[in-house]
A and B are shown apart, each in its own frame.
Chain A
Amino acid sequence: MLGALLMAALAAGAPARSFGDDRGVDRGVARMPGFEAVLLAHLKHGIGTEVLPTGPGAAIQPGMFVTIGLDGVQAYDRDLVRLQNGRVLDEVGADECARLCPASLFDAFQAEWLAAAIEGTQRSVEIPIHVLFAAHGQLPAFTLLDVIYAAATSRPTRPPELSLVTSSPGSGLRETRFFVLPPRGLELGQGSAALGLTVQFSRGRYRVRAEDSSFAGAGRVQNLTMLRARLREVKKRFPNKQTVILIPEEGVTVSDLVETISAVRADFPRIVLSAGQDVVLP
């Protein structure tokens, strides 16, 4: 191949080069697929797109992709840790994530970030600031949070931007941006005027509350229609508030979580996930 490329270059009267010619290289990379196509191919080869939770979202943006099936976690296409029925076997929590993530997961992601940092120096690419989580719909939401905190706390310099990958009929893969509470909770200063709207939920039971003691809309509802209606009322009273903190309880799956996100985001588009840490308002 190298000889043929050099012959072609010489026949064309061009000076011989050490490797191929522009046409050879350009031809090879001119039709590189887009990021979404690569993610799609990876998912089809791995956990399958049919197991992803269904939901709307925005177009997929490039980043580190993390795949969580019921039997393992991958960063890109590299195996990180094994799961058993969607649960991490390691029960030792890492101090770095305030024990919200298993140490084995934290270590594995830290090694991934090191690899990304070295790649950055060698190939002049940025360490990804965006991490996409493509999780099996039946995965426990707790496991998803384990993985999110492991990936996010181990990233050097600053926490990454986070997205959940969903499958949208007719639109292919979509992503929903979200945030997480800081691992050690959140304490706000005087005069913050935060509401701290929170929905803590298990299957079919949603508890709405707010950290602001003057909030009068607290209560429990039994389904997503009622939850949507309750949050609409809250929105009327607090039109500037955009944020809702979601705390999934035991038994909640990733599909349940995505359904809840879909129900609340119309009125509160800033989704913050929490493993139950404290939010302290002054």
Chain B
Amino acid sequence: MASARIQCPLGTALAFSAVLLGVACRADVIASPLPTVSAEQRAAQSFLHCVEAGTSGCVVSGASHVGWDALHLILWMAGGSPTGLLAALPSQLAAHQDPRRAQKAFVAEIERYASAVRGAECAPDGSQPLAQVIDRAASLAGKRLERLGMWRTDLAAVVESLREQAHQELDGGHLVRFSCTFDPYRAYVITRTQDADTTVVGMTTILAPAFGGDMPRRKNVLERLRSESLGLSRAAAPVLDGVVDPWMPFALEEL
């Protein structure tokens, strides 16, 4: 990206005045010191700046979030816990049928991390086209579910539907990766491009290495586990009266 700067012996303020008045000064185009970032990275960064300032108001009303919801479901099947999939996949697929729910989920995710993102010093450090991510995720999800003995159902048809839907909505969009100095340390922002407009339609703070994600360092993982956004620091350990120890939660007289 390059920007024009007017060079004029009258100084900058006078130079702008001169331009406005139509006075001819020597105009040179020189290289800007600003970093070159892609359109999707600019959109993603603007979005995070907006989140820092005002949380869920940054979610564009009327934008379609079902594409990200579809891809997010495929990514979950490709890398989520089998226990979680067995417990919640049916309800999550049913919820996916409601487009409003996809937007609500996105808003909830933004609200969860809004205070953390504020001051986290996040900067984009890469992006990848979503079309490739979608196909890789669908392929890995299929192989994985087969390995886990879950592919014998009609999940194949479901994954294919989700893949098609994700392509339909997100082809041309990007997954922009952010590294942050503080919690949440990583953020992955999903952009959608339609009619030359780039909007942000999704965000997550975790992504499997197969899709370009990684885990933060040791102390950062611990900090994340204790973060307000995950709510675990507020979850009190159950009170166990009369037991030996939290590690041995049975009656003392049995020891």
A interface, CB within 8 angstroms of B: 1-2, 5, 17-22, 24-35, 37-38, 40-42, 45, 62-65, 76-77, 107, 110-111, 113-125, 128, 152, 156-159, 179-182, 186, 188, 192-196, 240-243, 270, 272
Contact = CB atoms under 8 A, between A and B. Distances in A.
Nearest to A197: B255
Q: Secondary structure of the A side of the interface?
A: mixed
Contact of B81 (A25, A26, A128, A188): A128
A5 to B, nearest CB: 7
B221 A111 contact: yes
B66 A181 contact: no
Given A28-B155, A110-B218, A192-B252, A35 B204 contact: no
B149 A117 contact: no
Nearest to A124: B88
A29 B157 CA distance: 11
A240 B81 contact: no
Interface of B: 66, 70, 72, 76, 80-84, 86-94, 96-99, 105, 109, 112, 144, 147-150, 152-155, 157-158, 160-162, 164-165, 168, 204-206, 215, 218, 221-222, 224-226, 229-232, 235, 237-238, 244-250, 252-255
A124 B147 CA distance: 25
**B160, B226, B254: most-surrounded residue (chain A CB, <10 A):** B254
Contact of A24 (B157, B235, B255): B157
**Which 3 A-B residue pairings sit nearest by Cβ, starting from the closest?**
A41-B149, A28-B158, A242-B254
Contact of B205 (A5, A22, A28, A118): A118
Given A18-B66, A20-B97, A181-B247, A122 B90 contact: no
Given A38-B82, A119-B84, A270-B254, A2 B165 contact: yes
A24 B155 CA distance: 9
B97 A19 contact: yes
A156 B148 contact: no
B83 A128 contact: yes
Contacts of B222: 110
A192 B205 CA distance: 47
Nearest to A115: B206
B236 to A, nearest CB: 8
Given A117-B225, A125-B84, A195-B255, A159 B153 contact: no
B215 A114 contact: yes
A119 B87 CA distance: 12
Contacts of A152: 247
A194 B161 CA distance: 60
A115 B230 CA distance: 11
A243 B245 CA distance: 14
A223 B86 CA distance: 43
Contacts of B204: 122
12 contacts: A2-B164, A5-B161, A25-B96, A25-B158, A29-B90, A38-B82, A38-B148, A118-B230, A119-B81, A128-B81, A186-B248, A243-B254
A107 B218 contact: yes
B255 A243 contact: yes
A1 B215 CA distance: 35
Contacts, number: 208
Contacts of B150: 32-33, 38, 41
Contacts of A196: 255
B87 A125 contact: yes
Contacts of B90: 25-26, 29-30, 32
Contacts of A20: 97, 158, 161
B97 A114 contact: no
A121 B234 CA distance: 14
A156 B29 CA distance: 57
Given A32-B89, A107-B218, A123-B92, A42 B148 contact: yes
B23 to A, nearest CB: 57
A114 B221 contact: yes
A152 B230 CA distance: 19
Contacts of B84: 116, 119-120, 123, 125
B165 to A, nearest CB: 5
Contacts of A272: 248
Contacts of B229: 121
A232 B162 CA distance: 60
A49 to B, nearest CB: 13
Given A5-B161, A19-B70, 14 more contacts: A2-B168, A19-B66, A20-B158, A24-B157, A28-B153, A29-B158, A37-B149, A110-B222, A114-B221, A114-B224, A119-B81, A120-B84, A123-B84, A156-B226
Given A18-B99, A38-B150, A158-B246, A76 B218 contact: no
Contact of A193 (B153, B221, B253): B253
B83, B99, B161, B237 interface centre (most CB from chain A within 10 Å): B83
A179 B149 CA distance: 30
Contacts of B66: 18-19
